[in-house]
Amino acid sequence: MTKARVLYIEDDQASQRLVNRLLSSNGYEVFTASDGIEGVALAQKAQPNLILMDINLPLLDGRALTTRLRSSPNFSETPIIALTAYQDANNRKMALAAGCTGFLTKPINVDVFPQQIESFLNGQRHKLSQQEHQEHLERHTQELVSQLETKVRELEDTNRRMQELNELKSDFLLLAAEDLQSPLALTRDYLDSLEVQLDTVEDHAAVQPLQSLVQRMKSGINRMRQVSEEIEQASQIMSGLLELNLTQVQLGELVADSVGEFAQVCEHRRLHLYMADLGHLPPILGDATQLRTAVTAIIGNAVKFTPDGGHIYITASTSDSECCLAVQDTGLGIPREEQTYIFDLFYALGSVQNHSTSKSAFCGGGLGLGLPMARGIIEAHNGHIKVESDPKILPGSTFAIYLPLRQSAS
């Protein structure tokens, strides 16, 4: 018969196995965690009757962990026992001042250890005098403040380094895109020249395979140039260097142009793309080319993640201050935990191994630039994008683009 649930927080695997074996053989249900953060999560889940912990734990040490657990009503009275190789009096007193019920030392005495645990479960408690408690509680508080200061400095250093890496990434993208343009343009010129020469050959049957090969090579070059331009544009957005050529834009016409780009793909994959009548939409102030890029990216994302035979709906509405363009699909949907990241540069939804090399095929590949570029362009117009998706309830996702009707773009 199980006596009680015991949580043991210890980063040493050998100690975990020993305690687990000793307590399990005496009828206890034992849970183990290897660091302080994991220990908090497991304690909340398992709701143990007693908690054993090492003092020198990674991420969150035993005394700080005890203070954290005591702040929860669920563990205000739970026996928390420090089990550590530190045997000096100061360590013992600081553990008790931090909120520990008792203090046991390593190496464990296997003959009496289960009885010691039973005693703490039955109410045994190690105590300090009021003066000792106050003195060591102050020391514990000072230690927590020192640890917090160290962590803050580490976070500041990490954030600074991440900003530096982000700037380097932006610079690299821009340089890479620029360096790709010249050889791609030169290769395209060579192919154009070769195509002209092949046109002069009288034996058309002999040169036809070569002409077909040239066309395929030119198609590949065009795709590479498109990728290079996407990278350059993404770099401009990341650097805040995107320039807008503002005019009065008819959003309905712009969306219709974008939808037209997917007509052949939708026919091939039996996708049903429905576009509502958007003629009622008032003109907005914006960059037509950039807005079309953003809208095309959102529609393309719906096409990519909607299975063959699925449905995509494009609708729009207006309020006094803004226009909302919604793209709803019956696709895979986006897990809630990933919705924060889908607009991050190079983020790929799901496993990259499952993606094909085609941008238009179901779950087709890509560099992860479409959604980040769309958000950057819309935000440059003082707008924003929202996504709604819950695969557990309904299939598919809805991306809503909000653009101001009267506010000038920045």
Q: Quote the pTM value.
A: 0.55
* CA–CA dist 174, 186 (Å, integer): 19
- Compute, in degrees rounded to 10, the torsion defined by CA atoms 70, 76, 77, 80: -20
Contacts of 35 (CB under 8 A, 6+ apart): 9, 11, 57, 58, 59, 60
Residue 320 buriedness (CB in 10 A; 0-12 / 13-18 / 19+): exposed
Tokens 């401009």 -> residue? 236
Backbone Cα Rg of the chain = 32
The pLDDT of residue 31: 94
pLDDT tens-digit readout, 43-74:
999 999 999 999 888 888 888 999 999 988 99
Q: How far is CA 29 from CA 7, 23, 35, 112, in A?
A: 9, 8, 19, 18
The domains of the chain are located at 5-128, 151-238, 247-404
CATH 3.90.1170.50 matches 247-404? no
pLDDT tens-digit readout, 330-343:
988 888 888 888 88
* CA–CA dist 270, 264 (Å, integer): 10
398 sits in which H/E element = strand 397-404
Cis bond leading into 107, ω under 30°?
Answer: yes
Q: What are phi and psi for residue 392, nearest 5 degrees?
A: -75, -20
DSSP string for residues in 209-241: HHHHHHHHHHHHHHHHHHHHHHHHHHHHHHTT-
Contacts of 95 (CB under 8 A, 6+ apart): 55, 62, 63, 66, 82, 84, 103
The pair of structure tokens assigned to 282 is 């008032």
Tens-digit pLDDT string for the chain (410 aa)? 567 999 999 999 999 999 999 999 999 999 999 998 999 999 999 999 999 999 888 888 888 999 999 988 999 899 999 988 777 778 888 888 888 999 888 888 888 999 999 999 999 999 888 888 888 888 888 888 888 888 888 888 888 888 777 777 667 776 777 777 788 888 888 888 888 888 888 888 888 888 888 888 888 888 787 777 777 777 777 766 778 889 999 999 999 999 999 999 999 999 999 999 998 889 999 999 999 999 999 999 899 889 999 999 999 999 888 999 999 999 888 888 888 888 877 666 554 444 444 556 666 656 667 888 899 899 989 999 999 988 777 778 999 999 998 654 44
The pLDDT of residue 352: 46
The pLDDT of residue 24: 92
The CATH code of the domain at 5-128 is: 3.40.50.2300
